Chains A and B, each alone.
Chain A
Amino acid sequence: MVALNSYITLSWLVPAFPLLGFLITGMAKNRLKNNQAGIIASILVSLSFLMSAFLFFALRSSGQESATVTLFNWIAAGDLKIPFAFLIDNLSVTMMLIVTGVGALIHIYSIGYMHGDDRVNSFFAQMNLFTFSMLLLVMGANYLILFIGWEGVGFCSYLLIGFWFKNPAFNYAARKAFVMNRIGDLGFILGIILLFFTFKSVGFTEVFSQATSMHSGTPLVTLITILLLVGAVGKSAQIPLYTWLPDAMAGPTPVSALIHAATMVTAGIYMIARSSILYNLAPLTMNIMIILGLATAIFAAVIGLRQNDIKKVLAYSTVSQLGYMFLALGLGAYSSAVFHLTTHAFFKALLFLGAGSIIHAMGGEQDIRKMGGLRKKMPVTYFTFLAATLAISGIPPFSGFFSKDLILSKAFENNPLLYILALGGALITCFYMFRLLYLVFFGSQRLSTVHPHESPRVMTFPLIILSILSVFGGFLNIPSLFGGDSRFGEFLNKSIISGITEELGSATEIGLIVSSLILLGLVILYAYRIYVKKADIPVADGVSTNIFSKAIENKFYVDEIYSAVIEKPFGSLSDFFFNKVENKVLDPAVDEVGILTSKLGNLVRKLQQGNMSFYLFAMVAGILLFIIFILIV
Chain B
Amino acid sequence: MILLIILLIPIITGLFLLVLRDPATVRIIALTSAIVNLLITLGLIISVPSASYSVNWDNFMGTQFSLGFDGISLIMLLLTNLLFPFIILSGFTRSHVQIPVLNFLILFTQSALIGVFLAQNAFLFYIFWELTLIPVYFILLLWGGENRRAITLKFFIYTLTGSLFLLFGIIFLFQLTPGLHTTDFSAFNQLHIAAHTQTWLFWVLFIAFAIKMPVFPFHTWQPSTYTMASKQGVMILAGVLTKMGIYGALRFLFPIVPQGVIYWQNTVIIMCLIGVVYASVIAFRQTNIKKLIAFSSMAHISLMAAAMFTLNYYSTQGLLFQVISHGVTIVALFYMVHLIQERTSTLELPHMGGLKLAAPNMAILLLIIVLGSIALPLTSGFVGEFLIIMGLAKLSIWFAVFGGTTMILGAVYMLYAYQRIMLGDKNPALAKVKDIRTLDYFILIPLIAIIIILGIFPQPILNLVEVSVNSMQKLLIPANEVVTLFVR
Query: Do A and B have CB atoms closer than 8 angstroms in the complex?
Result: yes
Binding site for B on A (CB under 8 A): 72-78, 80, 144, 147-148, 151-152, 155, 158, 162, 165-168, 171-172, 175, 178-179, 182-183, 185-186, 189-190, 193-194, 196-197, 223, 570-571, 573-575, 577-578, 581-582, 586-587, 589-591, 594
**Nearest 7 Cβ contacts at the A-B interface:** A574-B285, A148-B377, A165-B423, A587-B220, A77-B317, A166-B425, A574-B284
CB atoms of A75 and B462 under 8 A apart: yes
**Does the CB pair A147–B284 fall under 8 Å?**
no
**What mask results when residues 304 to 327 of chain B are scored 1 for a CB within 8 Å of chain A, else 0?**
000000000110011000000000
Cross-chain contact of B285 among A147, A152, A172, A575 (Cβ < 8 A): A575
A190 touches B400 (CB 8 A): yes
CA distance A28 to B401 in the complex (A): 41
Q: Which residues of A contact B432 (CB under 8 A)?
A: none
User: Nearest A residue to B470 by beta-carbon distance?
Assistant: A78
Q: Is B285 a contact partner of A77 (Cβ separation < 8 A)? A: no
B295–chain A nearest beta-carbon distance, Å: 9
Q: Is B351 positioned at the interface, with any CB of A under 8 Å from its CB?
A: no
Q: A577-B278, A582-B220 are in contact. Are A196 and B424 (CB under 8 A)?
A: no
Known: A77-B387, A151-B377, A577-B281. A190 touches B408 (CB 8 A): no
Contact between chains at B425 and A152 (CB < 8 Å): no
Instruction: Give 6 A-B contacts (CB < 8 Å), ordered by A residue.
Output: A151-B376, A179-B415, A189-B389, A190-B404, A570-B284, A578-B286
- B131 within 8 A of partner (CB): no
Q: Is B290 an interface residue when CB atoms closer than 8 A count as contact?
A: no
Looking at B158, B415, B416, B466, the one whose CB has the most chain A CB atoms below 10 A away is B415
**Contact between B285 and A586 (Cβ–Cβ < 8 Å)?**
no
CB distance from B461 to the nearest CB of A (A): 10
**Interface contact B393-A193, CB-CB below 8 Å:** yes
Name the residue on A nearest B316 (C-beta): A77
CA A40 to CA B217, docked complex, whole Å: 54
CA distance A310 to B389 in the complex (A): 42
With A and B bound together, what is the CA distance between A183 and B411 in angstroms? 10
B444 within 8 A of partner (CB): no
Find chain A residues with CB under 8 A from B407 CB: 182, 185-186, 189
B217 / chain A contacts, CB cutoff of 8 Å: 586
Closest B residue to A168 using CB positions = B424
Residues of B within 8 A of A (CB): 154, 157-158, 217, 219-221, 223, 278, 281-282, 284-286, 313-314, 317-318, 354, 356-357, 371, 376-378, 382-383, 386-387, 389-390, 393-394, 397, 400-401, 404-405, 407-408, 411-412, 415-416, 419, 422-426, 456-459, 462, 466
A444 to chain B, nearest CB (A): 37
Chain B residues positioned under 8 Å from A196 (CB to CB): 390
Docked-complex contact A193 and B378, CB < 8 angstroms: no
CB B147 to nearest CB in A, in angstroms, measures 13
Inter-chain contacts of A193 with B (CB < 8 A): 389-390, 393, 400
Q: What separation, in Å, do the CA atoms of A589 and B220 have in the docked complex?
A: 9
CA separation between A571 and B397, bound complex, in Å?
A: 26
Known: A75-B462, A575-B285. A186 touches B405 (CB 8 A): yes
Question: Among A76, A162, A194, A594, which residue has its beta carbon within 8 angstroms of that of B462?
Answer: A76
Contact of B459 among A75, A186, A570, A594 (CB under 8 A): A75
Which residues of A have CB within 8 Å of B318? Answer: 77
A contact residues around B278 at 8 Å (CB): 577, 581
* List of A residues within 8 angstroms of B458 by Cβ: 74-75
Closest to B411 in A: A182
Given A165-B422, A193-B390, 17 more A-B residue pairs with CB atoms under 8 Å apart are: A75-B386, A75-B387, A77-B314, A78-B317, A78-B466, A148-B377, A152-B377, A152-B378, A162-B419, A186-B405, A190-B404, A193-B400, A194-B397, A574-B284, A575-B285, A577-B281, A594-B157
Flag if A76 contacts B314 (CB, 8 Å). no
B102 to chain A, nearest CB (A): 29
B286 to chain A, nearest CB (A): 7
Judging by beta carbons under 8 Å apart, are A166 and B386 in contact? no
Tell me the complex Cα distance, A578–B280, Å.
Answer: 11
CB pair A586 B220 closer than 8 Å: yes
Docked CA distance A175–B419 (Å): 9
In the complex, which residues of chain B have a beta carbon less than 8 angstroms from the beta carbon of A183?
408
Chain A residues closer than 8 Å to B387, beta-carbon distance: 75, 77, 80
Give every chain A residue within 8 A of B415 (Cβ-Cβ).
158, 175, 178-179
Question: Please, which residues of chain A bring their CB within 8 A of the CB of B377?
Answer: 144, 147-148, 151-152
Do the beta carbons of B390 and A155 come within 8 Å of each other?
no
Residue of A with least CB distance to B286: A578
Instruction: Kindly provide the distance from the CB of B269 to the nearest chain A CB, expressed in whole angstroms.
Output: 16
Q: Is the CB of A77 within 8 A of B220?
A: no
- The distance in angstroms between the C-alpha atoms of A238 and B400, with both chains bound, is 24
**Complex formed: what's the CA distance from A591 to B311 in Å?**
34
**Chain A residues whose C-beta falls within 8 Å of the C-beta of B371 in the assembled complex:** 155
Q: Is the CB of A578 within 8 A of B282?
A: yes
Which A-chain residue is minimally distant from B279 (CB atoms)? A577
> Which of A179, A197, A587 contacts B411, CB < 8 Å?
A179
Cα-based distance from A454 to B18 in the complex (angstroms) = 74
Residues of A with C-beta under 8 A to B459: 73-76
Complex Cα gap A219–B220 (Å): 43
Q: Tell me which residues across on chain B come within 8 A of A586, comparing CB atoms.
A: 217, 219-220
B360 to chain A, nearest CB (A): 8
Chain A residues contacting B286 (CB-CB under 8 Å) are 578
Give every chain B residue within 8 A of A574 (Cβ-Cβ).
281-282, 284-285
Give the distance in Å from the alpha carbon of A183 to the alpha carbon of B400 in the complex.
Answer: 14
B354 to chain A: which residues have CB within 8 Å? 166
- Whole-angstrom distance between the alpha carbons of A77 and B458 in the complex? 10
The answer for the CA separation of A135 and B376 in the assembled complex, in Å, is: 17
Within 8 Å CB of B157, what residues of A? Answer: 594
Please judge, given known A-B contacts A76-B459, A175-B416, A185-B407, whether A197 and B394 are in contact too, CB under 8 Å.
yes
Known contacts: A77-B317, A570-B281. The answer to whether A178 contacts B411 by CB under 8 A is yes
Asked if A77 and B462 sit within 8 Å, CB to CB, the answer is yes
Do the beta carbons of B423 and A162 come within 8 Å of each other?
A: yes
Q: Quick check: A78 and B313 within 8 Å, CB to CB?
A: yes
Given contacts A74-B458, A77-B462, A151-B377, contact A165 B356 (CB under 8 A): yes
Shortest distance from the beta carbon of B278 to any chain A beta carbon, whole Å: 6
Contact B285 A578 (CB under 8 A): yes
- The answer to whether A190 and B378 touch (CB under 8 A), given A179-B411, A179-B412, A574-B282, is no
The reply to whether A590 and B393 form a contact with Cβ atoms under 8 Å apart is no
Contact B220 A171 (CB under 8 A): no
Residue of A nearest to B354 (CB): A166
A119 (CB) vs chain B CBs: closest residue: B360
Report which of B219, B383, B412 forms a contact with A75, defined as CB distance below 8 A: B383
Q: Is B314 touching A80 in the complex (CB atoms < 8 A)?
A: yes
Distance in angstroms between the alpha carbons of A197 and B313 in the assembled complex: 13
Bound together, the chains give a CA A578 to CA B357 distance in angstroms of 32
